[in-house]
Amino acid sequence: MAGGNSNYWEDLRKQARQLENELDLKLVSFSKLCTSYSSSRDGRRGDSSSDTTPLLCNSTQDRMFETMSVEIEQLLAKLTGVNDKMAEYTSTPGVTSLNAALMHTLQRHRDILQDYTHEFHKTKSNFMAIREREDLLGSVRKDIETYKSGSGVNNRRTELFLKEHEHLRNSDRLIDDTISIAMATKENMTSQRGFLKSIQSRVNTLANRFPAINNLIQRINLRKRRDSLILGGVIGICTILLLLYAFH
């Protein structure tokens, strides 16, 4: 009976080791698949012609990912079942003398199962995150390209409208500046006009108060007119003489 129990334990250990070896190989291939998937996405993202490249590679990798995920999950389930059988065996009354050694072996297989399960879920989560991110970016790029290709004329019209709007804004700004300058000039001239009227009023007041000054001002004005007439006559005579000399 003990020999049969020992053979049963050894069969369980062989099954566990076989499943662990298969899981190890599957997980390595699974990790390489995820790495190649990310690398291929990065390469196509930097390629300007990637938009016209068929997505056959991605579809193949997605199918491989799904297939390998199912296979690994099945192997994990089988290994879990073997570990459960090993745990049941350690509780058998006839093997209590070897219970410590068996529990140590069982714990080692459980740790391996836990590590493989953790690695599988981590790799799967990373793959799903990369695929979701790249699908989102691809959708955004596709929408942008569709917008660019489908609304080129509208974009051209919009650009022309924006340029025309900017031109009108600049014209309005220039007109406002010109009006401001004109208003400032008008105010300045109005101020100077009032100042000159004030001076003229004071001069007239002084002239009315002092007749001698008024007579002096009149004489000065008469002399200025006379000098202007004399100067004009001289200039006219000189001009006539020059013309006669030129046509002589």
Q: What is the pTM of this model?
A: 0.50
177 has a pLDDT exceeding 50: yes
What Rg value do the Cα atoms of the chain yield, rounded? 53
Question: What confidence tier does 152 reach under pLDDT thresholds 50, 70, 90?
Answer: low
Mean pLDDT of 128-143: 75
Could you identify the residue written with the tokens 């296979």? Answer: 71
- Alpha carbons 161 and 238: distance in angstroms, whole number: 66
Report how far apart the first and last C-alpha atoms of the chain are (Å, whole number): 159
What stretches of the chain show up as alpha helix (H) in DSSP? Answer: 2-46, 56-90, 99-150, 152-209, 211-247
Q: What is the spatial distance between Cα 37 and Cα 126, in angstroms, rounded to a whole number? A: 11
Q: Which of 27-36, 41-50, 59-68 has the lowest mean pLDDT?
A: 41-50
Q: How far apart are CA 86 and CA 106, in angstroms?
A: 7
Q: What is the pLDDT of residue 90?
A: 80
Mean pLDDT, rounded, for 206-235: 79
Give the pLDDT band of residue 235 (cuts 50, 70, 90).
confident
Give the whole-angstrom CA distance, residue 68 versus residue 205: 115
Give 106's contacts (C-beta < 8 A, 6+ positions apart).
83, 86, 87, 90
| Residue appearing with tokens 């196509």 | 44
With a cut of 80, say whether residue 107 has pLDDT above it: yes
Asked whether the beta carbons of 93 and 162 are under 8 A apart, the reply is no
Instruction: Tell me the C-alpha distance between 140 and 188, whole Å.
Output: 62
Mean pLDDT, range 159-167, rounded to an integer: 82
Nearest to 117 by CA among 12, 27, 16, 15: 27
Mean pLDDT for the stretch of residues 72-93: 88
Is residue 89 within 8 Å of residue 9, measured between CB atoms?
yes
